[in-house]
Amino acid sequence: MRTRAILGSILASASVLIVGYQAGTAVTTSNGSSISLPIGGTTAGSSGSGSSTSAAAPAATGPSDGTYTGASVNTRFGAVQVQVTIAGGSISKLDALHLTNADGRSVQISNYAAPILRSEVLNSQSTRVSNVGGATYTTQAYLTSVQSALDQAGA
């Protein structure tokens, strides 16, 4: 009887774990794509801000001056949305409209990662910046949102 209980326990636990892990990796794949492409939350994004003046300067090769609201990118820790201001053809200001905030820990991570991301993007004038350790989701969503704003600006 003991043997039956032990074997049954091992079998039940192992199968539960395997199913959980399989389900988890399936979720990951779909999550991964939602980070590189803002398919999850483009509803609020891509609508250019009212102060946008991009239409006035179609001939310019660089980004047009103005303020652009990036796409809202959903992550499992909450949505991220960034507003980008272009002045004199370069990125002059970044405002985080929304950051990962699903739980207390996410808020803490956002508060720590957002200033680093902002200064790195301002320094490099691009979204090609390195990942902020411990804030992978926030980094990827932040950069995706910034990139979508830059796309609107025609950069």
Partner 1 sequence: MTTQVRTRATNSHPQPAATNDYRRGYSRRARRSDLFVMMLWASGAAAAALFLASGGAAQFGSIAETLTSIGIITGLVGTDFILVMLVLAARIPLIDRTIGHDRAIAVHRSLGKPALYLLLAHGVMLLVGYGLSSGINPIAEIGPMLALPDMPLAFIGLGLLIAVVVTSVVAVRRHFSYEGWHLVHLLSYVSVAFALPHQLSVGGVLADGTVQRIYWIALYVLALGSIITFRFAEPLVSSLRHRLRVAAVTEIAPGVTTIQLDGHALRGLGASGGQFFIWRFWTPQTWWHSHPISLSAMPTESTARITIRELGAGSARLSAVPVGTRVSIEGPYGLFSEAARTSPKLAIIAAGIGVTPVRALLEHAAFAPGEATVLLRASTPEETYHWDEIRAIAEAKGAACYSMIGHRPRRGDSWMAASDVARGVTLETAFPDLADSDVYLCGPTAWLDLVEAEVRATGVRPEQIHAERFDW
Binding site for partner 1 (CB under 8 A): 1, 4-6, 8-10, 12-14, 16-17, 19-21, 23-25, 27-28, 31-32, 76-77, 102-106, 108-109, 112, 133-136
Q: Which CB sits closer to partner 1, 97 or 107?
A: 107
Q: Whole-number minimum distance, CB 94 to partner 1, in Å?
A: 21
Q: Are 106 and 94 within 8 A, CB to CB?
A: no
**In this structure, are residues 53 and 66 in contact, taking their beta carbons and an 8 Å threshold?**
yes
Eight-state DSSP code of residue 62: S
> Between 132 and 155, whose beta carbon lies closer to partner 1?
132
**Min. distance of Cβ 79 from partner 1 in angstroms?**
14
63 or 78, CB closer to partner 1? 78
What Cα–Cα distance (Å) separates residue 33 from each residue in 26, 99, 102?
Answer: 12, 19, 20
Q: How many DSSP H helices and E strands does the chain contain?
A: 3, 4
Taking CA atoms, 97 is separated from 1, 19, 101, 141, in Å, by: 61, 38, 12, 13
CB of 82 to partner 1, least distance (A): 21
Cβ proximity to partner 1, 23 vs 57, nearer residue? 23
Whole-number minimum distance, CB 141 to partner 1, in Å? 14
Q: In what helix (H) or strand (E) does residue 66 lie, and over which residues does it extend?
A: strand 66-69
- Rounded to a whole number of angstroms, the minimum distance from the CB of residue 75 to partner 1 is 10
- Judged by beta carbon, residue 16 or residue 57, the one nearer partner 1 is 16
Look up residue 90 and give its amino acid: S
